[in-house]
Structure 1
Amino acid sequence: MSTAIEIRNLSKSFPCCKALQDVSLDIDCGEMVALIGASGSGKSTLLRHIAGFIPADRGQVSVLNRLVQQGGKMAPNIRSLRAEIGFVFQQFNLVSRLPVITNVLTGILYRTRLWRSLLMRFSVGERQQAMEALVAVGIEQSAWQRAATLSGGQQQRAALARCLVQGAKVILADEPIASLDPESSRKVMELLASMNRDRGCTVVVSLHQVEFALKYCPRTVALHRGAVVYDGPSAALTPALLGELYGSAAEELFGRMLDSPAPKAHTPVTRLPPLAA
C-alpha cells in the first residue's frame, strides 16, 4: 500500500512552548486515523504542518509522495499540492455572508484561472457538481441560504461538501465536532467515514473524544506535549492504557469513556454517491 502522508523528525517551537517534538509518522493511502490529546498537545499544529500552512523548525513532510516542506522551507509547488488536501476547520471557515453553494464552490478555486477565482465565476457544470455535493451531505435545501444562517452541524457539512467538490485525496479535519451537539457530531463523523470508505480518501481527524476515535477510526495516534505517545489500534485504547499515557489528566480529558464501557465498532450507514466528472 502506498503512503499518503510521511513525516520525519518534525519539530516546532513557539515562544511559550515546544508544540511538536521530533514527530515521525507514516499514514497509508485510504487509512482513517484519529489524533487525540489534550488542548495544547500539538494536534492542530501537526495538521497545519501537514497541510503546509506553517513551516516547521526542522523536519520533513510529504503528502502523496510530494514534498510539502523540509528544513523550515515550503516546497515551491505547494499551491498545486494543496489542491489535493482538504482541510476541515473547527470553526467551519465559511464566508458567512455568501450563499452555501458559493462556499462549496470555493473548493475548486485551486484549479481555476486567477481571473475566475477573483470574480468567483463558475460554470453550469461546476454549480451542478456543488449541488450534488450538497445532496451527498444532506443539506441541498440550504444551497442558497447565507452560510451564517446554518446551524453548526450544517456548516460543518457544507465544509465537507467543499472537500468533495475539491476532489481532495487527503482530508485533514481539525476538531470538526468540538462545538457540535452529539447528533450533529455523529453525522459529521459518519460523513468523514463515508468519504474514507466510499471515495478512498485518506482521513486524519483530531478529536477530543476518545469514544469517537473508537467508533470510527481503526488507528489512533495520541499526542502529549507535542510528542507521539501512542500509535496503534484504536481498540487497544483501554481506560488503563489512557491512564498510563496521560496520568491524572486522563479522567479530565476522556471522562465519558472512563466512566462507561467502550462502544462497539460502528459501521456508518451514510453512503456518498459519486460526483459527476
Structure 2
Amino acid sequence: MGTAIQIRNLSKTFPSCKALQDVSLDIDSGEMVALIGASGSGKSTLLRHIAGFIAADAGKIVVLEQLIQQDGKVAPRIRSLRANIGFVFQQFNLVGRLPVITNVLTGLLYRTSLWRSLLMRFSLNERQQALEALVAVGIEQSAWQRAATLSGGQQQRAALARCMVQRAKVILADEPIASLDPESSRNVMELLASMNRKRGCTVVVSLHQVEFALKYCPRTVALHRGCVVYDGPSAALTPQLLGELYGADAKELFGKMLDSPAMKQPEPGLSLAMAAAR
C-alpha cells in the first residue's frame, strides 16, 4: 500500500503558544483519518504544514515520497508538489464573484502553464471534466451561478469538485463541516468517504464532531495542546477514553457527543493500553 504522508518530529511555535510539539505520524495510502481536538490544539496548523503553506521550526514532512519541508524550509518545488494535494478549507476558499465552474477549474492551475493560469484559459475537455465533477457532487445545475449565491453546503461541494478536477491523491480537509447544518455535514462527509473509497484518495479531515470520526474514519488522531495524545481505531474512542485523554476539558469539548448513541462502549477485551497513542 505504501505511506502517503510521513511526519517526523514536527514542531512549531507561534508568539502566543506552542502549536505543534514533536509530532510524528505515518498515514498510509488510501487511509481516511480524522484529526480531533479543541480549537488551538494544532489541527489546522498540522494540515497547513503538510500542504507546505507554512514552514515548521523543526522536523520533516514527506508526501507521496516527495519532500515537502525539512528543518524550517519548504521545498523549492512546492507549487508543483501541491498538484497532488487537495486542500478543503473551512470557509470554502471560493471566489464569490466567479461562476462555480470557474472555481472548480482552478483545481487545474497547478498543472497548467503560467500564462494559462493567469488568463484562466481552459480547454473544452477541461470544462467537461469540471462539469462531470459537479455532477458527481450533485450541484451541476449551479455550474454557471456565482459562487457567492450558493449555500454553505453547496460551496463545500464545489470545493470538493475542485479536488476531483485537480486529481488530488491526498485530500486535506480543514474543519470542512464546522459551519454547516447537520444534513449538509453528512453530505460533505459522504462525499469525502466516496472519494476515499472510489478514487483511492488518502483523506485527512479535522473535526470537532467525534460522531463523524466514528462513522466515517476508521482511524483517529487526537491532538491536545500541540501533542498527539491518541492514534488508533476510531471505534475505541469511548467517553471513558476521551475523559482520560482530555480530563476536565472532555465534557466541554465533546459534551454533546459523549451522550450520543454513536459513542460505543469498548469491545470486550479492548484495553486502553491498545488504544493508547503510539
Shared fold (TM-score greater than 0.5)? yes
Match of 1:132 in 2: 132
Distance 2:150 2:119 in 1: 25
1:147 matched to 2:141? The reply is: no
Q: Give the aligned length.
A: 264
Output the CA distance in 1 between the equivalents of 2:121 and 2:260: 51
Q: What's the CA shift string for 1:95-118, capped at 9, x where partnerless?
A: 000000000000001111111100
Local SS of the residue matching 1:212:
helix
- SS at structure 2 position matched to 1:179: coil
- Structure 1 residue 261, shift from structure 2 partner: 2.2
Q: Which residue of structure 2 lines up, in the alignment, with residue 219 of structure 1?
A: 219
Q: CA deviation at 1:263?
A: 5.7
What corresponds to 2:55 in structure 1?
Answer: 55
Give me the whole-angstrom Cα distance separating, in 2, the residues matched to 1:159 and 1:85: 13
Cα distance in 2 between the residues matched to 1:188 and 1:262: 19
Structure 2 counterpart of 1:4: 4
Q: Report the Cα distance in structure 2 between the residues aligned to 1:95 and 1:116, rounded to whole angstroms.
A: 18
Counterparts of 1:136-215 in structure 2, within 5 Å, are: 136-215=136-215
Q: Is the 8 A contact 1:34 1:207 kept in 2?
A: yes
Q: Is the 8 A contact 1:215 1:263 kept in 2?
A: no
User: For 2:205 and 2:157, how far apart are their aligned partners in 1?
Assistant: 15
Q: Partner amino acid for 1:189?
A: M
Indicate the residue corresponding to 2:91 in structure 1.
91
State the 1:121 CA deviation.
0.6
Question: Any residues of structure 2 matched to 1:210-249 within 5 Å, and which?
Answer: 210-249=210-249
Using the size of structure 1 for normalisation, the TM-score is: 0.94
Report if the CA contact (8 A) 1:5-1:62 is conserved: yes
Percent identical among aligned pairs is 87
1:255 is matched with 255
CA distance in 2, matches of 1:169, 1:92: 19
Aligned to 1:82: 82
Distance in 2 of aligned mates of 1:239 and 1:170: 31
Distance in 2, Cα, partners of 1:260 & 1:233: 18
Cα drift, residue 47 of structure 1: 0.1
**For residues 239 and 261 of structure 1, what CA distance do their matches in structure 2 show?**
11
Give me the whole-angstrom Cα distance separating, in 1, the residues matched to 2:137 and 2:263.
Answer: 25
Q: Which runs of 5+ in 2 are unaligned?
A: 265-278
Gaps of 5+ in 1: 265-277
Distance 1:3 1:259 in 2: 36
